[in-house]
Amino acid sequence: MGARLALERSAARLVGRLSRAAGCGGGTTLPGKLLWKVDPTAIDALAARLPLGSALVSATNGKTTTSAMAAGILGRRRRLAWNNSGANLASGVASTLLEAKGAELGLFEVDEFALPEVMRRTAPRAVALANLFRDQLDRYGELEHVAERWRAAVAALPRSTTLVVNADDPLVAELADGRPAALRFGVDDARVARAALQHAADSKYCVRCGTPYDYAAAYVGHLGDYRCPRCGHARPVLDVVARAIELQGLDATVFDLVTPAGTGRVRLPLPGLYNVYNALAAASLCLALDASLDDVVAGLEGFSAAFGRFERIDGGGRGILMLLIKNPAGANEAVRTLVEGGVPPALVVALNDAIADGRDVSWIWDVDFEPLLERAQRIVAAGDRAAELALRFTYAGFPPGRLEVVPGLEAALDRGLALVPPGGELGVLPTYTAMLQLRAIAAERGLVKPYWEGAA
């Protein structure tokens, strides 16, 4: 290690320790921000020191869970440098690399807008691209803008880098066209498909000629088995597949994991078809990194939820079930999972509009909350934009007498818990920064570890 890099590394670590000592969080990004500011090329040098290289995971939805699943698989036999706190900008990757003493393999969840920069600097062995949904339009712009950045970044990757793509997402699947090293994953079980595309589905037009796709099966948002009736562009052949899927309420999902290495029956201890997609992405990435099918199955079956993503918390005689919502596609799947598995009688729904959430909260009008509202008994609308949320629910026909507006998150959490009988469970659906704040409240009460310590 060069003297300059060693000095930069020591200074950045010191900043992290001071941040933690001052109670300013886990120090998961500040050291990396400093390093990034002083010497952006330090990431290149630190990543190059990992003897087994790096792997990246990016997506609009599910990248934290997918990365955690991959860590559960790969961590069985390799020492990982993994940004488990969810700090997924270049500064977060830099912070992780700073603490990567003795690590063999880098596993990094990466923000979709930061992906090109991180790809360029880490020279990854494998990159998993799981989906692109409309999200934070005021920050990212339209989907095609993000896809264009990804196309350019993928084109610059070495031919030896394995690209893992969700073949059920047309925008993502086409990124692997012509690449010699690629794995394509998807779902093949029409029994769990939706009856039709959701009205808020995003990429439903042919990526080649712009004609609306015909769907033999639509699974999550615009993800599915598609074919263009005009030019014939269609979902590519799948390398890694989920078949014979059984959705077991809010407890688990069971499916056949069909891979080039064989087939394994997986009992994933998470509900929802979207988590099957997360498992497929993680399995494909790990297979690309030479994990065995036995390790993949064992890692998935031993997984527990990532923080805030279908996380169950013991609230002291009452349970808390927390499901992150942050855009129409993800929120619709959270609603679908609760409706199919059982809606808790009381819900806290929290809407913030911080930069990390997106300032524009108009997306709540594209979420199909109605099936949830038909079953919920009481709802507490919370967060910085609680009033808009309450308006959305009122227009959907939820009775005003069963709806409360409590903007403060701690007060809203307490009010929600008070609505739940002992032994019952409160459903909490927060946006990203609301989720972090609610977890911080839970951590202060000793109910969970801080997310930078306890992320699964």
To 5 degrees, how large is the angle CA 350–CA 352–CA 355?
Answer: 150
Tokens 């990365």 map to which residue? 67
Residue 256 bridge partners (DSSP): 243, 265
Annotated binding site for Zn(2+): 206, 209, 228, 231
3-state SS class at 55: strand
114 is written with which tokens? Answer: 């930061």
Q: How far apart are CA 136 and CA 122, in angstroms?
A: 26
Q: Which residues contact 14 (CB under 8 A, 6 or more apart)?
A: none
Q: What CA–CA distances, in Å, run from 325 to 12, 200, 308?
A: 33, 15, 10
At residue 351, φ and ψ (nearest 5 deg) are: -120, 115
338 is written with which tokens? Answer: 């609760």
Told to judge if 360 belongs to the known catalytic residues of this protein, a careful annotator would answer yes
- Which is the catalytic residue, given 360, 368, 384, 414? 360
Q: How far apart are CA 51 and CA 34, in angstroms?
A: 25
Number of helices and strands (H, E) in the chain?
17, 17
Closest to 350 in 3D by CA, of 340, 361, 339: 361
Tokens 């959305």 map to which residue? 392
What residue type is 442 in one-letter code?
A: A
3-state SS class at 302: coil
- Catalytic residue numbers, as ranges: 360
